[in-house]
Amino acid sequence: MRPIIGITSYVVPATWGVWHEVSTALIPNDYVAAVELAGGRAVILPPDERDADVLRVLDGLLLAGGPDIEPGRYGAEPAPLTESRPERDAGEFLLVRKALELDLPVLGVCRGMQVLAVATGGTLHQHLPDVLGHEQHRPAPGVYGEHEARFEGGSLIAKLMGDDLGIHCYHHQGVADPGTLRVTGRTEDGLAEAVEAPDRRFVLGVQWHPEVTRDQRLFGALVEAAG
């Protein structure tokens, strides 16, 4: 039986066929395809803040990208360009904290890495151009930023990535304080690009988007850990 990987999802207005602007639970199929190619069975998880019972039937958790985290969760006031979805935060933070408690394998992508950091006591930069002085992590609408990352020797991400240092990302926020996690990868401007929990079976967060290229190193590692 394939390991079952739950993928957190958006709830946004969507249009298909004769239906227009219908409130819809969805996720880009890149995530589903990446999990399936790695040998897993993808299950989409709509936001649900009532409990984390679904983890009983999951073998791994994939925290997908998406909107900004509500700044009150890390003790900050919203900045002008912060756009959050409190209902998604409520469901995901419940899931990730329970998953960490259960030592369930977790992979966080972009927003998912930020959720991991905040859930373990960390904080975020709300708008990177104000901190870094450039917009290379989100150069234009729908355009990925291209970077080379440096990975900490001996870390999980270094072992998975090998000599391939190229990443592509799309985000305007970033991890300022990783909480109890360890930063194991940074871009040339010093921004955290990978975090890990070495005391857990498999907890990895990456700020870039490996699902777009169906990166089997990362998704394969998640599915293997969940197997």
State the catalytic residues: 110, 209, 211
Comparing C-alpha atoms, which of 158, 160, 61, 76 is closest to residue 122? Answer: 76
Q: What is the rounded distance in angstroms from the CA atom of residue 21 to the CA atom of residue 109?
A: 26
Q: What is the rounded distance in angstroms from the CA atom of residue 10 to the CA atom of residue 2?
A: 25
- Please give the angle made by the CA atoms of 156, 159 and 163, to the nearest 5 degrees: 135
C-beta neighbour count of 87 within 10 angstroms: 14
Q: What is the rounded distance in angstroms from the CA atom of residue 98 to the CA atom of residue 4?
A: 17
Amino acid, res. 154: G
Structure tokens at 101: 């408690």
In order, the DSSP letters of 43-86 are: EEE----S--GGGGG-SEEEE---SBPPGGGGT-PPPTT--B-H
Phi first, then psi, for residue 173 (nearest 5°) are: -120, 165
Q: What is the rounded distance in angstroms from the CA atom of residue 175 to the CA atom of residue 157?
A: 17
